[in-house]
Amino acid sequence: MSKNRRRAGSGDGEVPVSGELDGFVIGYVPAGIGAEVSDFASEWEDVRFRTRVWERQVEEGYRVDLRVHVLRGGGLGTLDELRDFLAGYHERDAASWRPTEFVDGDVTGLIGDGEAFRLVEPGVAVDVLADPERVPEAELRAVLTQVHPG
């Protein structure tokens, strides 16, 4: 896993860094999330992840507020396959984990439990996870719909 960390503003109302991630532009980041931004690269079950994480310093160390993953892999052919893959990745029971489908413009995705995701095209997906106490579901959906090919 590789990691690149940078500070994104002073926390005085500056918008945290979004920008480009593995060929995608992150067009929206909610106000009030952490200003420490890190990029990671990893792989699991033949799916390549490129990840950007926004976190903030707390008394115990750091707390993650938002993560955006760009996933690439042959097993991600349909939205259901993506859901099943993410259930395994997050160690959830795929039979009982049923996020709600939504359509926003030309984006069809699934959302629930602090996570929203969509299949951009077969083999390419975007997954957004957030601390539900800091990022309400409407904001989570807005982040996902504003991640688009650059």
| Cα distance between residue 145 and residue 142, in whole Å | 5
pLDDT at 8 over 50: no
Tell me what pLDDT residue 18 has. Answer: 64
Tell me what pLDDT residue 19 has. Answer: 76
Decide: 65 and 98 in contact? Cβ < 8 Å: no
Cα 103 to its chain centre, rounded Å, is 17
Handedness of CA 34, 100, 86, 144 (dihedral sign): negative
* Mean pLDDT, all residues of the chain: 88
Token output for 6: 């940078």
pLDDT at 5 over 50: no
**CB proximity list for 60: less than 8 A, separation 6 or greater:** none
pLDDT at 140 over 60: yes
Tell me what pLDDT residue 85 has. Answer: 96
Tell me what pLDDT residue 13 has. Answer: 40
Token output for 28: 């929206």
| Cα distance between residue 47 and residue 95, in whole Å | 21
